[in-house]
Structure 1
Amino acid sequence: MARGIYIHIPFCHQICNYCDFNKFYFKNQPVDEYIEALGKEMALTVDKHPESFTQIETIFLGGGTPTALSPEQLTRLLTLIRTYIPMDGVTEFTSEANPDELSEAKMRALFDGGVNRLSMGVQSFDQDLLKKIGRTHSNAHVYETIALAKKVGFRNISIDLMYGLPGQSMEQWRDSLEKAFALELPHFSAYSLIVEPKTIFYNQHAKGKLKLPTEDLEAEMYDVLMQEMEAHGLHQYEISNFAYEGFSSVHNKIYWENDEYAGFGAGAHGYLNGVRYSNHGPLKKYMDTLEIGELPIIYEHEVTDAEKREEQMFLGLRKTDGVSHILYEGKFGESMHVRYGQVIEKLVAEGLLEHDENGIRLTRKGRFVGNEVFQEFLLED
């Protein structure tokens, strides 16, 4: 049974140098037709899996850039969502946004359409760094947009920050954190740069033209991040996410708790009835498939019992609370120690995991090498 819904809007007015998501330049794209295709996909999916859509808690508009759409297009999209998705249990409805695209008309379209949370891609408050990573907004855009969002009625606002950027210094990172805290927002996400294939940065890196901070400096930036968030009263509830009480992202917790969700849109991924799936990425293929009344799924994988257990461990360990004994035993009918006892003992001895009667979780030391810890739980079946 799905707890959440992800809807992919693959259009951007500017392509960021680090982005590897399915995306297209907005100009000359069939945006209106794409929105109607999303409606068809939602209708077909709910009709095929009605039992999976009875307890939807969250909806997330991601991209690409949802706010690349016009106010009228956003209104049409939100109307289709309310038409096909049962909204009674939805408590969190998020839209990603760019600071220089979110006009008052777009904000009112989102707010009036049921969106109650904004996730804004700020990344840095250093204009030179923003240019390096392909962002087009200024600090003034950020300040004005957040003030306007609060005026419209949004109270749950999050911004993304990035560290480990090309040429980024500790001074620049501290300055971005200081400016972020001055906004008095309830939630922050902060990610280190990962150079992904099929990105501009990947090509630059392959040619030796991308100067990145050292691993030690990146680790220091993460250390400063955790210290400063704690000093400002924000709880680290996941490796990269910090919030005041009551403002943790419910939607992201669905992923980390390894629960099911539906994914709609070109290149979107979902997890329904024990099957992980992904859609066609090219717009024409996505829309043509729906035009003939078929779902645009290109790949399906029925998750094995062993994979479910592995995912429960390495996704759950992203959370500061870690993996609960009760939750694990409720899902799999046995203690996590049956399969992972030796791994847990080893990682506890190395100071990377904590273990008590409630469950297991990363130590502060373990957060710096989270991916290495997660790999320990990928056991051969």
Structure 2
Amino acid sequence: MTISSAYIHIPFCQQICHYCDFTKFFYNERLADEYLEALKKEIHTYIPGEKAKVKTIFVGGGTPTAVNHQQLKRLLVMIDEHFDVSACHEYTFEANPGDLDVEKVRLLKEYGVDRISLGVQVFDDDMLEQIGRVHKVKDVYTNVDRLIQAGLTNVSIDLMYALPGQTVDHFEKTIDEAMQFDLPHYSSYSLQIEPKTIFYQRYKKGTLVKPPEEDEAEMYELLQRKLAGAGVHQYEISNFSKPGFESQHNLTYWNNEYYFGIGAGAHGYLPGKRTINIRPLPAYTKQAMASGKPILHEEPVGLKEKMEEEMFLGLRKTEGVSISEFKKKYEKEMMDVFGEAIPKLMERNLLEKQEGMVALTPRGRILGNEVFQEFLLDD
């Protein structure tokens, strides 16, 4: 079996953001030490022998850079012992602006990390505080400069829009400031109010109000126009890059390829099944140390599920899904399988066919979830 990528989850944060529903816990040195030991056991269960060759490694969170220097080195050594980092096409670490001191940047560079994803969100100190972020705008400048000076020039920054109190003009200023860095990659996501978050509790109480839907759509269209004008092309619903700097790891997901999911709450996709790991930290650590397999749930993936996922993952890409590749993978014509959904969505100007591809229209990108549900097949 060919596993294209590895996702490794580090669940620790210095502060919990008000919108975040990922598996995360306040950083504690002892808990982090125990977690790294459990993580090593899980990785070794997947890769007991020679180093695994994968195209991409992505270390996400939480905030992987929230751990101390010794723990970061331990994590990097662990990854290097189990994966052939030298053969990896892309090795990404997520980071919080402000976490990256000189020593952490040096360690990342030394152990082969070649891409950094910075959670910037907005260029406004007051709004950063309102959404629960601990960094300041000045930290973004300091950290980006530090990374580039160290030769880590493949930097991506995440932005958020449709935040409480955010106007179209406010988001435009954030886009303009972000573009001044002239980075190779930008990601931008609208606020989703998820259960078990601080924002969800406020929303239920009526104390949190998102901008109107038309403002949210205008923010998204503004983002597309501004980045396109700067030569940063949109290659996925929420992702933009200069040519050649598309996130190879995220393309693993959207191309429906296999990947390891390692760590508390991590999702993986292995031949014939999708896996979800145990989320609570003590339970994850206990099970990982006992068996090396801290899996909460395994879901079989048959032909039906593969074809569905091919469409609603692949359609996230601007280029869409290849009609010929679909037939090659599944030995079925796309129109034989989705002959009802595709014409209906084309009629609504949500989908288009061109040059052997089926892709979302600009309107379809805004209404993506409506499109994707049309590709769920009857049993």
Where on the TM-score scale, by shorter chain, does this alignment land: which range?
over 0.9
Distance 1:14 1:155, change over 3 A: same
Question: Contact between 2:9 and 2:266, CA under 8 Å: does it hold in 1?
Answer: yes
* Letter of the structure 2 residue corresponding to residue 44 of structure 1: T
Task: Say which is worse superposed, 326-335 or 213-222, in terms of deviation.
Answer: 326-335
Q: C-alpha distance in 2, partners of 1:187/1:114?
A: 19
Alignment partner of 1:231 is 2:259: no
Question: Contact between 1:42 and 1:85, CA under 8 Å: does it hold in 2?
Answer: no
Alignment partner of 1:307 is 2:308: no
| Aligned alpha-carbon RMSD (Å) | 1.4
1:1-381 matches, within 5 Å, as 1-27=2-28, 29-47=30-48, 55-381=53-379
Q: C-alpha distance in 1, partners of 2:88/2:58?
A: 11
What is the CA-CA distance between 1:119 and the residue it aligns to? 0.2
Q: C-alpha distance in 2, partners of 1:178/1:300?
A: 44
* Letter of the structure 1 residue corresponding to residue 313 of structure 2: L
What is the CA-CA distance between 1:157 and the residue it aligns to? 0.2
| Runs of 4 or more above 6 Å deviation | none
What is the CA-CA distance between 1:280 and the residue it aligns to? 1.3
Residues 308-332 of structure 1 show CA distances to partners (whole Å, capped at 9, x for unaligned) of 1000000000000100112211110
Residues 10-56 of structure 1 show CA distances to partners (whole Å, capped at 9, x for unaligned) of 00001000000111000354111211221111111124xx89x8541
Q: C-alpha distance in 2, partners of 1:283/1:17?
A: 20
Q: C-alpha distance in 2, partners of 1:238/1:325?
A: 18
Question: Contact between 1:39 and 1:84, CA under 8 Å: does it hold in 2?
Answer: no
Q: C-alpha distance in 1, partners of 2:60/2:97?
A: 15
Q: C-alpha distance in 2, partners of 1:293/1:352?
A: 47
What is the CA-CA distance between 1:86 and the residue it aligns to? 3.2
Task: Say which is worse superposed, 175-184 or 351-360, in terms of deviation.
Answer: 351-360
Q: C-alpha distance in 2, partners of 1:13/1:54?
A: 32
Question: Contact between 2:5 and 2:57, CA under 8 Å: does it hold in 1?
Answer: yes
The alignment partner of 1:226 has SS state of: helix
The alignment partner of 2:311 has SS state of: helix
* Letter of the structure 2 residue corresponding to residue 211 of structure 1: V
Q: C-alpha distance in 2, partners of 1:314/1:331?
A: 16
State TM-score, norm by structure 1: 0.96
Question: Contact between 2:86 and 2:112, CA under 8 Å: does it hold in 1?
Answer: no
The alignment partner of 1:95 has SS state of: strand
* Letter of the structure 2 residue corresponding to residue 15 of structure 1: I
Residues 249-269 of structure 1 show CA distances to partners (whole Å, capped at 9, x for unaligned) of 000000011111001111111
The alignment partner of 1:292 has SS state of: helix
**Which blocks of at least 5 consecutive residues in structure 1 are unaligned?**
none
Question: Contact between 1:58 and 1:90, CA under 8 Å: does it hold in 2?
Answer: yes
The alignment partner of 2:243 has SS state of: coil
* Letter of the structure 1 residue corresponding to residue 284 of structure 2: Y
Question: Contact between 1:122 and 1:160, CA under 8 Å: does it hold in 2?
Answer: yes
The alignment partner of 1:61 has SS state of: strand
Q: C-alpha distance in 2, partners of 1:82/1:101?
A: 22
Task: Say which is worse superposed, 100-109 or 233-242, in terms of deviation.
Answer: 100-109
Give the % identical residues: 48
Q: C-alpha distance in 2, partners of 1:187/1:247?
A: 7
Residues 221-271 of structure 1 show CA distances to partners (whole Å, capped at 9, x for unaligned) of 011011101111101000000000110000000001111100111111111
Question: Contact between 1:44 and 1:295, CA under 8 Å: does it hold in 2?
Answer: yes
What is the CA-CA distance between 1:170 and the residue it aligns to? 1.1
What is the CA-CA distance between 1:88 and the residue it aligns to? 4.7
